Chains A and B, each alone.
Chain A
């Protein structure tokens, strides 16, 4: 559990002598971790790099030398080919609607639920938490067909965005993330506010949510990945080509028996790169906010 010591008043901080390490030791201490990080980054990035290279090559080269391509072999044709085969803008839009819908409901309903599970005491709290865990535990393959029958027959939602979104509406992992995050905030924060007479709603909106920024950003990214990359469910629910998200269109493209492009592998990789880019961009945009904030300021005042 997070330990919350009383923050030192500014005067005391100023008096404390700051130890300064000699320059050589400081830079040497930084060198090894940096080297390790770089090595790790290479390992992690390499397959993606290879994907991008593959997407840009006009002739597939599956030998070792393919990792360092001949500049003459590079082309944007694969992108053009995949766009011809799959309507990229339309499918991207569908992916956006599908994922956006899930994001919206998760952020609103999931945050409320996560907060309640962590910081509001009510009987039956444990049951809800365990039900959430159960949903997380059960693999989708087990639920797939009854879920499909229920949504298509019972609710009549075939060929619709709502039918696609429903199982993803409140991402259980996001709820879990919110709950654990709110658990990590010091209990005193809430108790003192309650003692001061603040209503639960005010505590939620004035204290909990502003502090929850890292959790919200994390939940956004986590909730984004699922629907964005999901193939089987949206495909089951909708056969109309103008409703299908990019992941589905790409998977369909991969499975066509006669892949007629000059470089089918390249076209597939081009599609995969297009699929991955928005998620990376989202992450880049959000991670800027993951800079150490001073929690002490939350307790003061």
Chain B
């Protein structure tokens, strides 16, 4: 068959498809504010983490017992990489559930842009409930238009886990390990790799996903400055402190104390790395496997621990615009985040609810689980990812520059960050 005849056929096929496409699409469901008062059965999604499933089932069962006409059906979705895809696709198809626990704050700007989220302020007690429960930190979760499109639900503030056995083997203090300043940390890291029998002192994933900075660069940046990556439309990371954090990590990579290769599995759990940046979920995971200790994130010159903030690794709950029975959904959301249910969340999963008063509201639990105390105290001092338009692309831009300059050392940190900052500024300004 000759060239042009083949192209003609293809063009015909494509034109046919285009014609069909032009007819397709459209057809929306009404999302008026009257839905705010409707009641009825609702569907929710939560993550498929075993403990959370248990918690979810108990909360749903308790609610369903008392609300015969407003039954809640729950389904699980993975909390991992693909949950945003699934939610995004669902928004487009119009079949999202009323509530999704485990909505990532970094995805909220995009879901909002898609018209997929309900502003919780539209409920009479929306803003007040959220701010009452979470305190001043709640402001980090407001969208640029000042409304709450998410309710901050639970946090896993990250700290440094270290393997006491490895530290002992390397001849380091296991009760108060020298990990407070960058210089201390570097020296300790060197000793660990030389004498501790590990391949890396710390092994964050060197891959280029947009969310990886949350577990290497960002916690240290927050600990040092208490700032978000972007504040008031201005990128903050290209300043001297941000560059100092990057140079610290660069040294770790250059000296072989952190690895440039992916580890297939859990490096800390497999004892290939002496430390890890993790949240309180790690207590249950490593409980028996590794003799662990926990310290706050290092800062340049060793700040007072009660001043050190960290990345929240928070997950929010959000209400989606396809929801018909929003009054029920809002009431259920308040029910699931009541002090009682927040307490059972803490007990069953070890993850911290986003309440202002975690150490004081649940003293019994913390007394019987002293290992969580440090995390509970840290939970009051967390910083979130910035709620700005194009947030995923902003993080990806940052990660690409970071990967180039810091992990693979192919560019100068300051100039790479400057370039990235310019791009990020444009992205944050675009709507």
Contacts and interface: CB of A to CB of B under 8 A. Distances in A.
Contacts of A239: 45, 75-77
Interface in B19-52: 24, 27, 45, 47-51
Interface in A142-172: 144-145, 148-150, 152-154, 158
Interface string A85-104: 00000000000000000000
Given A257-B281, A258-B51, A148 B13 contact: no
A134 B10 contact: yes
B82 A235 contact: yes
Contacts of A214: none
B80 interface: yes
B86 A235 contact: yes
Contacts of A258: 49-51, 281, 284-285
B1 A131 contact: no
A238 B49 CA distance: 18
A297 interface: no
Given A62-B270, A134-B13, 15 more contacts: A126-B6, A127-B13, A144-B89, A158-B95, A239-B77, A240-B75, A252-B48, A255-B78, A256-B48, A256-B78, A257-B80, A258-B49, A260-B50, A260-B284, A264-B266
Nearest to B83: A255
8 contacts: A127-B12, A130-B6, A149-B93, A154-B24, A232-B85, A239-B75, A239-B76, A255-B78
A148 B285 contact: no
Nearest to B76: A241
Most buried by B among A134, A239, A240: A239
Contacts of A240: 75
Interface of B: 1, 5-6, 9-10, 12-14, 24, 27, 45, 47-51, 75-82, 85-86, 88-89, 92-95, 264-266, 270, 272, 281, 284-285
B89 A252 contact: no
A85 to B, nearest CB: 8
B6 A153 contact: no
Shortest Cβ-Cβ A-B pairs, 9 listed: A255-B80, A127-B9, A255-B78, A239-B75, A152-B93, A149-B93, A131-B13, A252-B78, A130-B9
Contact of A153 (B45, B76, B78, B95): B95
Interface in A259-274: 259-260, 264-265
- Chain B contact residues: helix, strand, loop or mixed: mixed
Contacts of A259: 285
Contact of B92 (A148, A154, A158, A260): A148
Most buried by B among A235, A239, A258, A265: A258
B78 A236 contact: no
A256 B51 CA distance: 11
Interface residues of A, number: 32
A60 interface: yes
Contacts of A150: 24
B76 A255 contact: no
Interface string A185-201: 00000000000000000
Given A62-B265, A131-B13, A256 B49 contact: yes
Contacts of B77: 239
A236 B49 contact: no
Contacts of B13: 127, 130-131, 134
Interface string A204-227: 000000000000000000000000
Most buried by A among B45, B49, B78, B281: B78
Contacts of A131: 13
A260 B75 CA distance: 21
Given A126-B6, A127-B13, A240-B75, A260 B285 contact: yes
A265 B1 CA distance: 52
A62 B271 CA distance: 11
Interface string A277-294: 000000000000000000
A153 B85 CA distance: 17
A152 B95 contact: yes
Interface in A37-73: 60, 62
B81 A255 contact: yes
A252 B13 CA distance: 38
Interface in A101-156: 126-127, 130-131, 134, 144-145, 148-150, 152-154
Given A258-B49, A258-B51, A258-B285, A153 B93 contact: yes
A53 to B, nearest CB: 15
A218 B270 CA distance: 42
A265 B75 CA distance: 26
B92 A145 contact: yes
Given A62-B265, A131-B13, A256 B79 contact: yes
A131 B48 CA distance: 40
Contacts of B265: 60, 62, 264-265
Contacts of A154: 24
A136 B97 CA distance: 34
B89 A257 contact: no
A223 to B, nearest CB: 23
Nearest to B288: A262
Nearest to B281: A258
Nearest to B77: A239
A255 B45 CA distance: 16
